[in-house]
Amino acid sequence: MQQNIGFQLARVPRLWRAVIDRRLAPEGLTQTRWVTLYHLWRMGSDQAQCDLARAIGVEAPSLVRTLDQLSVQGLIERRPCGQDRRAKRIFLTDKATPLLERIDAVVSQARKEMLAGLDDDEVEQLIDLLSRIEANGLAIQEREEA
């Protein structure tokens, strides 16, 4: 049973995102776009592009195309950073607010459905266990990179 836990840990987030993707498809949002917008909203507007990329878990250059698309849609603005004009800061526009409210509603409903049958204590335990597994993984990465 423990041999399959890695596959299960990988499968659950894919399934979770697929549910949300399907529900946000009518809004014309790809996973990359809604994840980027949602992270920026949760982090707070006015984020350094590199910090946003790190939070999402992608390389900064990979994020550029998505930010270009969101900018063309009028959902974000990129402005130069005060200290380093080459660096960009990302801001949500007012036009993004209704879409972000829709994304949040879809994400919240999916979370509720995906966690159905788990009580609050079980959810807290799951969060704790996943955090510990993540910390172990980060420690392994750090150790192996040194």
Spell out where 65-114 has E strands.
76-80, 88-92
Sequence-distant (≥ 6) Cβ neighbours of residue 60 within 8 angstroms? 49, 50, 53
The model's pLDDT over 60-115, given as tens digits with 9 standing for 90+, comes to: 888 999 999 999 999 999 988 877 767 789 999 999 999 999 999 999 999 999 99
Q: Residue 1 pLDDT more than 70?
A: no
Q: Residue 130 pLDDT more than 70?
A: yes
Q: What is the mean pLDDT of the chain?
A: 92
Architecture of domain 2-114: Orthogonal Bundle (1.10)
- Quick one: DSSP state of residue 59? -
Tokens at residue 20, please? 């949300």
The model's pLDDT over 2-32, given as tens digits with 9 standing for 90+, comes to: 778 999 999 999 999 999 999 999 988 889 9
Domain locations in the chain?
2-114
Residue 84 has what pLDDT? Answer: 72
How big is the chain by its Cα radius of gyration, in Å? 18
